Amino acid sequence: MATKPSIIITFKQLATSLIKRSERGTAILLLSDATVKETGTVNVKVYKSVADIDENLYTEENVKHIKNCLAYAPYEVVVISCNSTKFSDFAKAIVTTRRTGWIAFVGNDTPQPDLASWIKSMELQGHTYKAVGTKAGNDCKQYVYFNQNGTDRNGNAVLAKNYLSSLLGILAGCNVNRGCTNFLCTDLAEVKEVDNVDTAVGSGQLVLANEVDGVRIVSGINSLVTLNGNTATEDMQYIETVEAMNLIADDIRDEFKNTYQGSFKNKYMNQMLFIGAVNEYFDRLAAEDVLDREFDNKADIDVDAQRSAWMGTGKAEAEEWDENMVRKMSFKRTVFIAANIKILNCMENLKFTITME
């Protein structure tokens, strides 16, 4: 039976089927704005600094949200505004504007459950959109749950749904370059602390805490809590790990689709060209401390998967082929690749023992 082409990139803790480095750090800010007079009209603007903002397009409160997001220096802020509080009115504009990015619907509780549900459904389809919102219990590595009120530097109360614009800027700004654990939220003077930090973090909540020098993020985690030791592991509960996973998945998918898919015959030599490009890409990521340069980050033909594919067609003799034979017996239209990589994480925990004689 003929099927449409598929590109499936799955991450497992030890066996990962994963060159150019893509630009990251996009914040996608969704705003319900009465300035948009015509129902159904959706405006999309891209800003890289506060000097770019056309303040006539937004309410005063929404201009403040845009500036709060930009204050934490994301690569860009894509503002999608509409005179609606329905997430469905914004969804099409998201997917037609950017293929990935951090998303938040700021200032309104109504669309939070729909945004969380959409992020989860997009993850299942292989997309790498991420979001921060006030919906609890989403249990998703692409969704960050936050729900604490606070006070800004001017003494004004800040509800959790309104602080999402700042958190969006923080998360997009941190990108793959650093973790957001212990990040200083410079626009807050104080936050209402959770009853039990350990319990909140354990249940998948991004928690802020009052420290001597200001309000800081306790631990840079997402809402993933259900682990299976394979496609959902403890490492994947951390935002910076998922950021690196998303970067690699997006880059390799794009390279395969734009350069190889449909253009090269599926034979051993061409597979090795692609694998060589992937390994060169891994080397660059290691040089930028996304991957561990002390680890042998390598991709190669997945011999076991390719052998199984041939056996699945009734070719029983494939079980007796040596590894070299399997490698050179490319399978129809499918390229089987496996990789073993080590993603670097930032320093968080310190265990320091001092012995005095």
**DSSP string of 284-336?**
HHHHTTSB-TTS--EEEE-HHHHHHHHHHTT-GGGGG--HHHHHHS-BTTB--
- Quote the CA–CA distance of 39 and 347 in Å, as a whole number: 49
Cβ atoms within 10 A of the Cβ of 131, count? 30
pLDDT for the residue 16: 32
The answer to whether 132 touches 166, Cβ cutoff 8 Å, is: no
- Quote the CA–CA distance of 56 and 33 in Å, as a whole number: 11
- Quote the CA–CA distance of 94 and 29 in Å, as a whole number: 10
User: What letter does residue 278 receive in the DSSP assignment?
Assistant: H
Please tell me the chain's helix, strand, coil percentages from 3-state DSSP, rounded to the nearest 5.
35, 20, 45
Q: Which residue has the tokens 């350069």?
A: 259
**DSSP string of 189-213?**
EEE---S-HHHHHHTTB--EEEETT
Residue 84 DSSP SS3: coil
Is residue 17 within a helix (H) or strand (E), and if so which, with residue range? Answer: none
Q: Name the CATH topology of 26-175+181-217.
A: Rossmann fold (3.40.50)
The answer to whether 199 touches 140, Cβ cutoff 8 Å, is: no
The answer to whether 79 touches 44, Cβ cutoff 8 Å, is: yes
pLDDT for the residue 19: 52
pLDDT for the residue 17: 33
pLDDT for the residue 328: 96
First to last CA, the chain: 76
Instruction: Pinpoint the residues of the chain covered by CATH 3.40.50.
Output: 26-175+181-217
- Quote the CA–CA distance of 283 and 291 in Å, as a whole number: 8
- 70: which residues sit within 8 A by CB, 6+ positions away? 47, 48, 49, 50, 77, 169
pLDDT for the residue 11: 47
Phi, psi of 302, deg, nearest 5: -85, 90
- Supply 136's token pair: 């609890």
pLDDT for the residue 108: 95
Tens place of pLDDT per residue across the chain (357 aa): 666 677 666 544 433 333 555 667 999 999 999 999 887 899 999 999 999 999 999 999 999 999 999 999 999 999 999 999 999 999 999 999 999 999 999 999 999 999 999 999 999 999 999 999 999 999 999 999 999 999 999 999 999 999 999 999 999 999 888 899 999 999 999 999 999 999 999 999 999 999 999 999 999 999 999 999 988 999 999 999 999 999 999 999 988 998 899 999 999 999 999 999 999 999 999 999 999 999 999 999 999 999 999 999 999 999 999 999 999 999 999 999 999 999 999 888 888 999 998
Beta bridge partners of 221: 238
pLDDT for the residue 7: 64
The answer to whether 282 touches 344, Cβ cutoff 8 Å, is: no
> Parallel, antiparallel, or unpaired for β 188-191 and 150-152?
antiparallel
> Parallel, antiparallel, or unpaired for β 208-211 and 214-217?
antiparallel
Residues 8, 11, 12, 18: is their CA dihedral positive or negative? positive
pLDDT for the residue 314: 95
